[in-house]
Amino acid sequence: NAGVTQTPKFQVLKTGQSMTLQCAQDMNHEYMSWYRQDPGMGLRLIHYSVGAGITDQGEVPNGYNVSRSTTEDFPLRLLSAAPSQTSVYFCASSYLEMDEQFFGPGTRLTVL
Amino acid sequence: AQSVTQLDSHVSVSEGTPVLLRCNYSSSYSPSLFWYVQHPNKGLQLLLKYTSAATLVKGINGFEAEFKKSETSFHLTKPSAHMSDAAEYFCVVTGGGADGLTFGKGTHLIIQP
């Protein structure tokens, strides 16, 4: 099993550009989520999904969109990048919401 | 609603001495609690989890944590620190639903030779 994979590992954007961070898991997990990690802030939940076709907002959803068309994939879209979105982004998955979550290796995003 | 407070942003210990990383939580539900470790420029790895079974939870690499409901605490301990334990440690609570996982702000563990 590859576990949770994320692409790209690094990305630099200009203000106003859009992009999609990819996340995939091969563990047949129903629950998937996106977090951002900023210094001194821990990880904060952006969006989550409890299954294909179902998504909901977390603590910091503004400026991000998600969709879940398959169990395996959960992409995160930045609609119009802003410097405040410079962060490290982690995707995670688990079988159920309250289970141990498995994290991807992260995407380091810089917005200039 | 739920929240987590890690009481120390930095902890420094000498190699071979005990480690104590403190965590207090609040939750409206019967929570699940976790400790994750993050080594520099790496992803997060689960150390241990509490899910309403035994209150003393043993994890990987010699770490353990005790769930104390009366004190709303879930402190992480290790009897003897190793240089490889130097990392960022996160205490995490979840009650499910829209709150997802709520992370503490992290404790940076420094191991002195």
Question: Of A33, A40, A106, which is closest to B100 when you measure between CB atoms?
Answer: A33
Tell me which of A96 and B82 has the higher pLDDT: B82
Question: Of B34, B99, B105, which is closest to A40 when you measure between CB atoms?
Answer: B105
**The token pair that represents A3 in the structure block:** 């576990």
**Residue B47: CB partners within 8 Å, gap ≥ 6?**
B34, B35, B36, B37, B59, B60, B61, B63, B76, B89
Count other Cβ atoms within 10 Å, centred on residue A90. 24
Contact criterion met (CB below 8 Å) for A107 and A89: yes
**pLDDT mean across residues, chain A:** 94
Question: What is the reported pLDDT for B97?
Answer: 61
**Residue A46: CB partners within 8 Å, gap ≥ 6?**
A33, A34, A35, A36, A58, A59, A60, A61, A64, A66, A76, A89
What band does A98 get if pLDDT is binned at 50, 70 and 90? confident
Residue A106: name the closest of A57, A43, A61, A56 by CA: A43
What band does A67 get if pLDDT is binned at 50, 70 and 90? very high
pLDDT in tens, A68-89: 999 999 999 999 999 999 999 9
Provide the shortest C-alpha distance from residue A17 to chain B (in Å). 26
